[in-house]
């Protein structure tokens, strides 16, 4: 494969990752890491380095659109970023001391759980008003988001549980290079009772900061290759803008199914390849 052909294929893969990342709140890394490691045989640590740059690009490309449309909850995002940033730094240091096979298996197990929660977990009643608990009320985390021509109010619950899960999400981001969007969406949607579209868009708002915290560690250790990262970023930005336009009109159930099916397939593939030593 020539360098030009490789660059074009990687760019197209990045565009698909950016589209799916913006649409589901995953950040794109959940698609990009397996694609680079399994299809292009890139060392998984270099794939994670490129993925972290990809996650920052996805967040930059989609977050502005979601904030403008009134979906993202900036107050929640800024609060939870404290936990994810600390976790991301820890995860990035751990990643340089853990074998690539173990990273791949952990990656797959995390995605498998997120896929199960998305496809089979208990769903919220669409359109139901959820009252904030006392802590969320003190922090003024409640908000509203567009539903058709109106705005639907929502509350927030279980802030300590969500904060704890976000630390774990940040650690996984640094360890796996996925932006931890899968865990963040599940934490906000399930634990904190935030509507799914608000969860995915707020995840997109947060993942760039989380990835930036751990990307510096990978850059310092030489795991970010500009020849790989550049076409990835260009593709991801284009895909993220497209995905942000589609999400606004997409039904919630379709987003959940897309989220679940994609990461379920990738989870099985990563666990198998990690266990057999192919990554």
Per-residue model confidence as pLDDT tens digits over 78-135 = 999 899 888 888 888 887 777 767 877 877 887 787 677 667 765 544 445 578 889 9
**pLDDT, greater one: 154 or 62:** 154
Section 48-61 average pLDDT:
77
**pLDDT, greater one: 270 or 131:** 131
**pLDDT > 90 fraction of the chain, expressed in percent and rounded:** 9
Looking at residue 26, its pLDDT comes to: 62
**pLDDT, greater one: 166 or 44:** 166
Total residue length of the chain: 279
Q: Is the pLDDT of residue 243 over 70?
A: yes
Among 78-82, 149-153, 213-217, 222-226, name the one with the lowest average pLDDT.
213-217
Q: How far is CA 91 from each of CA 126, 131, 173, rounded to the nearest angstrom?
A: 35, 34, 7
Write out pLDDT tens, residues 154-197. 999 999 999 998 898 888 777 766 656 667 877 888 788 888 88
Q: Is the pLDDT of residue 217 over 90?
A: no
Q: Is the pLDDT of residue 239 over 90?
A: no
Looking at residue 127, its pLDDT comes to: 44
The number of C-alpha atoms within 13 Å of 64 and in the hemisphere containing its C-beta is: 9
Looking at residue 278, its pLDDT comes to: 66
| DSSP annotation of 191 | I
pLDDT class for 76, splitting at 50, 70, 90?
Answer: very high
Instruction: Count the neighbouring beta carbons within 10 Å of the beta carbon of residue 92.
Output: 27
Number of folded domains in the chain?
Answer: 1
What is the b/e burial string over 111-121, where b = at least 16 CB atoms within 10 angstroms of the residue's CB? bbebbebbeee
The number of C-alpha atoms within 13 Å of 79 and in the hemisphere containing its C-beta is: 20
Domain that holds residue 179: 3-275
pLDDT class for 75, splitting at 50, 70, 90?
Answer: very high
Section 210-234 average pLDDT:
83
Q: Which of 264, 215, 270 is CA-nearest to residue 26?
A: 264
Section 220-247 average pLDDT:
84
Q: Is the pLDDT of residue 260 over 60?
A: yes
Question: What tokens does 59 get?
Answer: 């967040």
Section 271-276 average pLDDT:
82
**pLDDT, greater one: 237 or 179:** 237
Strands (E), 96-149: 143-147
Cα angle for residues 83, 85, 91 (degrees, 5° grid): 100
């Amino acid at each position: 494969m020539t360098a030009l052909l490789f660059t074009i294929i990687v760019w197209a893969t990045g565009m698909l990752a950016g589209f799916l990342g913006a649409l589901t709140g995953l950040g794109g890394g959940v698609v990009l890491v397996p694609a680079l490691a399994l299809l292009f045989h890139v060392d998984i640590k270099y794939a994670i380095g490129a993925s972290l740059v990809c996650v920052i690009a996805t967040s930059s490309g989609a977050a502005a659109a979601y904030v403008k449309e009134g979906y993202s909850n900036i107050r929640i995002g800024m609060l939870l970023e404290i936990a994810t940033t600390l976790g991301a730094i820890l995860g990035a240091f751990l990643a340089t001391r853990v074998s690539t096979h173990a990273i791949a298996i952990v990656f797959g197990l995390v995605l498998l759980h997120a896929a199960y929660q998305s496809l089979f977990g208990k769903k919220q009643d669409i359109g139901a008003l959820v009252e904030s608990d006392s802590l969320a009320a003190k922090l003024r985390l409640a908000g509203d988001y567009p539903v058709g021509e109106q705005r639907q109010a929502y509350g927030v619950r279980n802030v300590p549980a969500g904060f704890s899960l976000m630390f774990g999400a940040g650690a996984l981001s640094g360890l796996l290079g996925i932006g931890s969007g899968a865990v963040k969406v599940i934490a906000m949607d399930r634990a904190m009772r935030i509507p799914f579209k608000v969860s995915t868009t707020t995840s997109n708002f947060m993942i760039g900061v989380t990835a930036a915290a751990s990307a510096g560690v990978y850059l310092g250790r030489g795991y970010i290759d500009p020849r790989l990262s550049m076409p990835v970023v260009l593709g991801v930005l284009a895909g993220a803008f497209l995905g942000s336009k589609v999400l606004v009109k997409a039904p919630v159930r379709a987003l959940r199914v897309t989220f679940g099916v994609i990461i379920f397939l990738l989870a099985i593939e990563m666990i198998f390849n990690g266990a057999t030593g192919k990554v």
